[in-house]
Each structure stands twice: as C-alpha cells, then as structure tokens.
Structure 1
Amino acid sequence: MTVPAPRVRRRPRTPGRLLPLLLATALLLPVAFLVVQAHQFVDNDREVVGRERLGVEYLRALGPVTDALVDAQSAAVTGRSLRRDTLDQAVERAAAVDARIGGELSTSERWAGLRAKLEALPERSLADPETAFTVYGEVTDLLLALHGKVRETSGLIRDPGVDAYFLQDGVAEEMPEAMVAAGRLTDLAVLMNRRPTAERIQSLSQLATLRAAALQPANDLASNLRAVVENTESADLGANVLTPFDAYQRAVETMALHSQPVDRAGTVDTTRLLAARNEAQQAAKQLHPVLLDEIDRLLVERLDGLDRDRLLILGAGGLAALLLVGLAVSGWMSRPRDTSAASAGGGVPAGGVVPPPPSGIQWGAVGSRPVEPPPALQPVGQVHEPDRWRPFDAAR
C-alpha cells in the first residue's frame, strides 16, 4: 500500500507582494504634492506679511520727518528761526531705516532724491517768504509721494484685512496729507495778510482749496477710525485712539473755522489758526504711533496663525505618510496561510497510522489521488428484472 505525499506549498509570487507597495506609493505621491503646495502657500503669505511689517517700520520713521518738515516750513514762512536739529535727526533716522530695508521696498531712489532736497534747504529763513512757501511745497510733495511708494511696495495698500487696510490708509495717506495741507493752509493765511488787499482777495480761492484739502483727509480719517474702533477685537485700541483722535478732530474743525476771513478785505486770524494747527499736529503725533502699533499687532497675529497652519499641514502630511507606509509594509510582510496537506485531505493523520483505503478504492502512484473503480456497465435496451416469487408460486 502506498501513502500519498503531502502537498507542496507554493511560494507567493513577487508581483502579488509588490501590489500593496505600489498602491501605497501611488497614494503617497499626491499627498506629498498637496503638502508641499500648501507649505509653499503658507510661506508666500508669511513673506507678504513680513513685507508689510517692513512698510510699517518705514512709515514709523517718516512720521517725525513729516512733522519736522511742516514746522520748518512754517518757520521759514513766518520768519522765525529754524530748528534744523530736529529735522536733521529725523532725516538721519529715516536714512538708517532706508539703508536697511529700502532695497527690499524699492524706496532707496525716492529717498535719495528727497534727502537731497531736504539737505539743500537753507539753514536760515529765506528772504522771500513766498519763495520759501514754494520751495517747501516741492519737498513736501516728494515726501507724500514717498509715503505712497511705501504703501505700494510693502503691500499695505492691498492688505486683505479690513481693520489693517483702514488703519494703513489713515496713517500712511490721509494723516500725512492732512498735516501737510494744514501747514500750507496756515502758511498761506500768513502770506495773505502780508499781501495787498487786491491780491489778498484773489488768494481767497486758493485758501478755500487748501481748506478743503485739509478737511477732506481729516474727515476720511475720522470715518476709517470710527469703523475700526467699532469692529476691532482689541480692548485697548478704543481707549488709545479715541482720546488723541477727538483732540485732533476738534483742532481740525477749529482750524477750518479760523481759516475763514474775518472781514471783507480777506484778513485771517492767523494767531488762532496757528494755535489750532499746533493742537492738531500734537494730536496727530500721539495718534500716529498708536495706529502703527495696532497695524503691527494685527500683522503679528496673522503670522502666528500662519505658523499654526504650517504645523497642521506638516502634521497632517506626516500622519498620512506614516499610515501609507505602514499599509505598504504590512502588505509586503504578510504571507498566505499555510494550507497543509492534512487540511486538504492528503496528509498523514496524527499517530502515524495510515487508515486503509475504503473498499473498492485503489491507490495510484505516490502523490496521486486514489483511483476509484469504474462504474459497472448496464445493458442497452429494456431491462428485465429477475423473476420474483408470487403468491401462487408455492402452490405449483
């Protein structure tokens, strides 16, 4: 009697084991692409916010230059002694800022032209106040153009935040324009009182134009600050802004009132007008750093949010990569179940005793299945069953 040999287990094919690895790799590539793209978007946003903070720093340096230049213009027109120390110190600080970040903001060329004009201003008051008014007017125009350049190249003018946009619009455009226009308004009033009556009356239209130029940006600044104070989440902004802003608004209204002629000859009360301008300028000096600090605070909060987004992106990408790698490794290391010959019916039972084959079954060669005998052939045609005993056969 021959004993059937156990079945030989087949080795798993390599392509079948590579399939989970290929699927995991195919899923890992788009996940990595999305993570890299999201990370680049966050880095670009961080770069934009960083550039805006450079613009805030540059505007902070231009504020003292604006105040000192307006004071120097008023001193030159009225014939008072010039205080060049204040203007020179403000120019030096602004020059240091431009030397550090002017190349990135593309403001070095404009600052070089403005600085040349500032240094060319005379040490003493000009003999002709009318000439001084014209010369300083050209320099202040260059200064206002530099403010606009900083807003544009730093991206502050395109800031997506509502609060930051209104704040930068007020501190970088409306406030400098209002202060320069207020200085020109008071200086023109001083010049008008020195002119003959006929020329004084002709200058009333120019005075009205400067009055509107001083009031329009001040009103726009008031609207912007009111909207920011009502919608801001900062608890300190309202208290820090409202006090100097109220003083500034009252001074501007008083300045507009005293810029009106007091008689038919076109005479203006320059004493009260100069006092109102000084009050407005002092309030603007207090308001300027507060607004810049608030803009910088909003930008810092945005940077913190971008840092959190970057960490979340990297964490999600790393977790997805670990899961896919784990699936690939588990698919590669897994093996098919060991189906032994005993479970298939061809192995040797426990104890080593081979049971005899059933009757009528013969074993073939080693390792082959048992051979059953062929079925018996039946005759073709009608099949007659063998005779059986009938009830009356016994009586025969």
Structure 2
Amino acid sequence: MTVPASRVRRRPAVPGRTLALVLALALLAPLGLIFVQAERDFADDHDLVSRERLGVRYLRALGPLTDAVVEAQAIAVAEGAVSRASLAAAVEGVAEVDNAVGDELRTHERWAGLRAKLEALPDRGIGDPEAAFRAYSEASDLLLALYRKVRESSGLIRDPRSDSFFLQDGIGGDLPTATVLAGRLVDLARLSAKRPAAERARIGAELAELRVSALGPANGLVADLRSAVDSSESTDLGANVLTPLDTYQRSLETFALYSAPGAGRSAPSTDQLTRAGISAQNSAKQLRTVILDQLDALLRERLDALERDRLLGRIAAAAAAALIAGIVALHVAALRRDRSRATPARREPAEAGPAPAVHPNPPLPAPGADRQPVAVGHGGDADRWRPFDAAR
C-alpha cells in the first residue's frame, strides 16, 4: 500500500508582480506632473494672447481719436471753428472701450487725464493760435503716452513672435507718433509764416528738428512692416499689407519733399505741405486698419493653436492614464491568481484498511522449526537447504 506524500508548497511569484505593479503606478507621478505643467503653460500663454487682443481692441479705438485730435489742431491753428462732434464721438468710443477693458489694462487713470484735457481744448484759435497749438500739443503728448501704456499693460510690447511684434510696434508706436508729429509739423510751418522775421532762424531750426522727429517713426513703420512680412509664416500678411504700405510710402516721400526748406527760404511751402500731410494721413488711416486686422488675425490663430495643443495634450494624457490603468488591472488580476494557486485545498488521504497490529515482543520460532520438510518441486528456500540435510 502506497501512502501519498504531502505536496510541497510552491512559493508564489508575488515580489515580481508587485514590483511591476509599483512601477506602473509610479508612472502616474511624472505623467501628472507633465500634465499639470502643460496646463499651467497653456493658461499663461492663453492669458497673454487674450490680453494682447484687448490691447489691439484699445488701439483700434485710439486710431479715430488720433485723427480727430490732429484735424482739430489744424483747424484751431488755422483760426477756424473746430467741430466738436467728431472729436466727441471719438472720445466716447475710447471711453466705451476703457470701461470694458480698462481694469485689466490699468488705463483708467491715464484715460481720465487725457479725457479731461481733450474736453478743455478750445473750439477755435481766433486771436491766439499759438495757445491753441500748445494746448493741442499737450493733449497729443498725453495721447501718445496712453498708446505706450496700452502696449505695456497688454503685453504687446513683449510679444514673443517676430511678425506680431513688428506689427504692434508699428501700429502702437511708429504710426501714431508719425501722425501726430507730421500734423504738428504742418501746423508749426503755418504758424511760422505769421511770426516776425527776427524769429525766422529759430523757427527754421525748430521745423528741421520736428521734421526729423516726424520722418523717423514713419520710416521705422515701413521697416517694421517689411520685417513683419519677411518673418511671418502667414501668406495673407504680405498680400494684405504691402499694397497699402506702398501707398503710404509714396505719400511719405512726397511729405518729406515738401517739408524740406525751399531755395531762398527757411520754411517749407505751407500749402503744398498741408496737401502732402492730408494725403499721408489718409494713407495712414488705410494702413492702420489693415495692420490692426492682421495683428488681431495672428493673435486669433495663436489662440486656436493653443486650444488644439491643449486638446491633444489632454487626449494623450487620458490615453496614457487609461493604458496605465489597464496594466495595473492586469497585474492585480495576475497577483490574485498567484495567491489563489499558492494556497490549494488540502487533499484527503486515500481510504485503506486497518493497519496490522504489531506485537511488542514477537515469539521466537520453535527449535527445529527451520528444518521442516519441504515438498519436492517447490522452489525458493527449500532448494537452498537440501545439500545441508543430505550431509547430516
């Protein structure tokens, strides 16, 4: 009868399964860190571009105000009656935008000072055109300061892309400065014709200095726009900007020609300079609209790209998390199977009859019992004792 031997317990493969499970779970930490950092970068970039678009909106409202101030100054210096309707409409347009986005751009204080100055401007310069010129010059200086404030607070001045940076520099810095100083040059030339001959030399120096100050930003605008077109990946930018830029550049060349002193005189011709100034201002209006539209379009495209990148990042993070979750689930299931196999149910021993009783002191065999006759023909031990019995 064979008694079944007890089965030796197998050691479960728990350490290997546990290590793989821990490594799979450990992947969640760097994945979560990358996802959180990506979300933070998206939020920062999205806020920056959104704030820049607010700045573009404010600059768009400042354009008509700039034109209204320059035109009103020209009328006041020429001793005409200033129409307050166009200036008031431009002021209300900026006030509406300032109420909407001024908190975020922090422009309320500067706009309040400029608005008060604009509302105090004289309606006409009859009797004292010099005073009107000084008053409007002070107002236009405040206006240019507001341009700088909008660019700084909106982040346009720190735009990281080359094309949008050159566009914002042109529309928020060069173009308004060139427009204001060109109008100031025309009005100062008109005033110089009425001043005494003793002041002609001083007036000529002032005009020459103001001419350089006006043409510098205008040429800078042309350079900015060409740099923006050259550095941009957008095919629409060059097609939309170059035509009005060429028109502006031609009017600028005409203005530069007529703003230079003529032969035998220290001051330029006021009539020719006035017409050239009006032509340059009209071409600047057209160019300003195009630049603002293109700048806003570039910022919108950047926002769309950020949204797409964010969506793709979230999809990738969700897929990675689902993959890790699947790996963890498989390892947990395998770990449970290993544990269940390591602890099998105990087997019951096979049924057998009662074990034979063993006497503690078995009786010795009787003398001569080993010499019992053995039947012939029987094999085994009887054959071994047969020669011994014959010898006896």
Common topology (TM > 0.5): yes
- Give the 3-state SS of the residue equivalent to 2:27 in structure 1: helix
Distance across 2 between alignment mates of 1:255 and 1:340: 99
Please name the residue that 1:223 is paired with.
223
Range 206-215 or range 325-334, more displaced = 325-334
Range 2-11 or range 235-244, more displaced = 2-11
Please name the residue that 1:62 is paired with.
62
Give, in angstroms, the shift of residue 29 of structure 1.
1.8
Q: Which runs of 5+ in 1 are unaligned?
A: 355-396
1:192-341 to structure 2, matched below 5 A, reads 192-262=192-262, 264-334=264-334, 335-336=337-338, 338=341
Please name the residue that 1:33 is paired with.
33
- Give the 3-state SS of the residue equivalent to 1:203 in structure 2: helix
Give, in angstroms, the shift of residue 148 of structure 1.
0.5
Matched-pair contact (CA < 8 Å) for 1:245–1:287:
yes
Corresponding letter in the other structure for 1:149: K
Q: Which runs of 5+ in 2 are unaligned?
A: 353-392
Give, in angstroms, the shift of residue 288 of structure 1.
0.4
Matched-pair contact (CA < 8 Å) for 1:6–1:340:
no
Please name the residue that 1:363 is paired with.
none
Residues 346-371 of structure 1, C-alpha deviations (whole Å, 9 max, x = no match):
999xxx999xxxxxxxxxxxxxxxxx
What's the TM-score once normalised by structure 2's chain length?
A: 0.82
Distance across 2 between alignment mates of 1:123 and 1:188: 19
Corresponding letter in the other structure for 2:124: R
Please name the residue that 2:95 is paired with.
95
Please name the residue that 2:386 is paired with.
none
Corresponding letter in the other structure for 2:319: L
Residues 117-142 of structure 1, C-alpha deviations (whole Å, 9 max, x = no match):
11111233353111111111110000
- Give the 3-state SS of the residue equivalent to 2:135 in structure 1: helix
Give, in angstroms, the shift of residue 300 of structure 1.
1.1
Matched-pair contact (CA < 8 Å) for 1:258–1:273:
yes
Give, in angstroms, the shift of residue 25 of structure 1.
2.4
Larger proportion of helix: 2
Q: Would you say 1:42 and 2:42 are equivalent positions?
A: yes
- Give the 3-state SS of the residue equivalent to 1:91 in structure 2: helix
What's the TM-score once normalised by structure 1's chain length?
A: 0.81
Give, in angstroms, the shift of residue 259 of structure 1.
2.0
Distance across 1 between alignment mates of 2:40 and 2:311: 13
Distance across 2 between alignment mates of 1:251 and 1:162: 27
Please name the residue that 1:4 is paired with.
4
Give, in angstroms, the shift of residue 5 of structure 1.
5.8
Residues 51-95 of structure 1, C-alpha deviations (whole Å, 9 max, x = no match):
111111110000000010000111110112212111110110110
Q: Would you say 1:108 and 2:108 are equivalent positions?
A: yes
Please name the residue that 1:364 is paired with.
none
Give, in angstroms, the shift of residue 267 of structure 1.
4.3
Matched-pair contact (CA < 8 Å) for 1:197–1:266:
no
Distance across 1 between alignment mates of 2:148 and 2:76: 26
Distance 1:109 1:57, change over 3 A: same
Distance across 2 between alignment mates of 1:340 and 1:321: 34
- Give the 3-state SS of the residue equivalent to 1:110 in structure 2: helix
Please name the residue that 2:141 is paired with.
141
Matched-pair contact (CA < 8 Å) for 1:229–1:238:
yes
Corresponding letter in the other structure for 1:312: L
Range 302-311 or range 90-99, more displaced = 302-311
Bigger relative contact order (CA 8 A; separation at least 6): 1
Distance across 1 between alignment mates of 2:80 and 2:250: 27
Identity, in percent, stands at 54
Please name the residue that 2:368 is paired with.
none
Give, in angstroms, the shift of residue 251 of structure 1.
1.8
Distance across 2 between alignment mates of 1:308 and 1:237: 22
Give, in angstroms, the shift of residue 283 of structure 1.
0.3
RMSD value, Cα: 2.6
Please name the residue that 1:366 is paired with.
none
Range 254-263 or range 96-105, more displaced = 254-263
Q: Would you say 1:24 and 2:32 are equivalent positions?
A: no
Aligned length: 347
Corresponding letter in the other structure for 1:46: H
Residues 25-48 of structure 1, C-alpha deviations (whole Å, 9 max, x = no match):
222122111111111111111111
Distance across 2 between alignment mates of 1:246 and 1:211: 21
Distance 1:129 1:35, change over 3 A: same
Range 205-214 or range 12-21, more displaced = 12-21
Matched-pair contact (CA < 8 Å) for 1:9–1:338:
no
